Amino acid sequence: MKTSHMYRTALIAITGLFLAATLATGAAAQTVVKNIVLVHGAWADGSNWSKVVPLLEAKGFHVVAVQNPLTSLADDVAATKRAIALQDGPVILVGHSYGGVVITEAGNDPKVVGLVYVAAFAPGDGESIMSISKPYPPTPLGGEVRPDAQGFLSLTPKGVAEDFAQDLTDAEKKLVTATQGPLAASTFGATITTAAWKTKPSWFAIASNDRAIPPALEKAEAETMKATSITLPSSHVAMISHPKEVAELIEQAANKAGTR
C-alpha cells in the first residue's frame, strides 16, 4: 500500500511538471502583438493615418504614427527606430508609399515581428525607388512634382486632386495638399542595406487605381516578398479612402505574427 501511494504521488508530480512545461511553451509561442507603428510616406505627415488609428485603438491596439522629417532615408529610418524603441513589446510596422522604403530598412529592428505595406515601395538589398521603378512607365503624378531651391519636392494641388488622392472628397484633397511634407529628392536614389521583408512576414495592400506608384509594381513586390495581399479599388492614399480594409489587414498581421 505504501509503495502504491508513493507511486501515485510521483506520477502526480511528474504530470504537474509536464503540464507546466506545456503551458509555458504555449505561452511563449503565442506572443501578443499590441503595438502598431505607422510610417507615412512622401508629401504627407502622421495625419494621413487619422482614419486608421481610431479603428485600431478600438480593437485594443497601442498605435503610434511616426512624424518623419523627410530629409533623408537615414533620418526617416532613425525617426522610425526611435518610435519602435519606445514600445513595450513586439511591433507591427506599417509603411505607406515611400514609408515602405523606411520600414524595409527600419524593420530589421528585433522588436519588429511583421511588416505591412500600403500602396508602397519595397526595395530589396541594394535597391532604391529609382532602380525598382525603371521597368515601369512613368506615373501621372510625376508630372505634378515641383522642386524648390533646396532640393525638396512638393506636389501641385492638381497633382493631389487628380493623381495622388483622386478618390477623396474635395475637403480631404485640400487637407492633404495643405499638410503635405516636402520630400528630399535624394531619397529616390537612397538604397536599402538589408531588406527586412526577406526574414519577416509581410502583408501588402495593393491600390489598383494608384497613379503615383504603378499598381503592377506593387503587385510584383507583394509576390516577391510572398506577402499576404489584398487589392483595393483605391487611389494612392488607400488608408484614407479605405481605412476599414487597411485597418483589418493590419489587425490580421498582428494576430498572425503573434502566433509564429
The tens digit of pLDDT for each residue in 230-251 reads 999 999 999 999 999 999 999 9
- Strand residues in the chain grouped as ranges (E): 35-39, 62-66, 91-96, 112-118, 145-147, 152-155, 183-184, 202-207, 228-232
**Helical segments of 41-199, H only:** 52-57, 73-85, 99-106, 129-133, 157-159, 170-178
Strand ranges of the sheet holding 112-118, from the earlier edge strand across to the other edge: 62-66, 35-39, 91-96, 112-118, 202-207, 228-232
- Domain definitions of the chain by residue range: 33-257
Evaluate whether the domain defined by 33-257 bears CATH number 3.40.50.1820: yes
Catalytic residue, candidates 4, 47, 50, 97: 97
Question: Is 97 considered catalytic here?
Answer: yes
- Extract the C-alpha cell encoding 137: 512607365
Strand 145-147 and strand 152-155: the pairing is antiparallel
pLDDT at 10 (0 to 100):
42
pLDDT at 30 (0 to 100):
53
Beta bridge partners of 112: 91
Give pLDDT tens digits for 4-45. Answer: 544 454 444 443 434 343 333 343 345 689 999 999 999 999
| Local mean pLDDT, 10-residue blocks, the chain (260 residues) | 47 41 41 92 96 98 98 98 97 98 98 98 98 97 97 98 98 96 97 98 98 98 98 98 98 88
pLDDT at 32 (0 to 100):
80
pLDDT at 6 (0 to 100):
46
The residue count for the chain = 260
pLDDT at 40 (0 to 100):
98
pTM of the model: 0.88
Backbone angles phi, psi at 96, to 5 degrees: -110, 135
pLDDT at 235 (0 to 100):
98
Q: Which residue has the cell 495622388?
A: 164
Do 133 and 217 meet the contact criterion of CB atoms below 8 Å apart?
yes
- Extract the C-alpha cell encoding 170: 474635395
pLDDT at 11 (0 to 100):
41
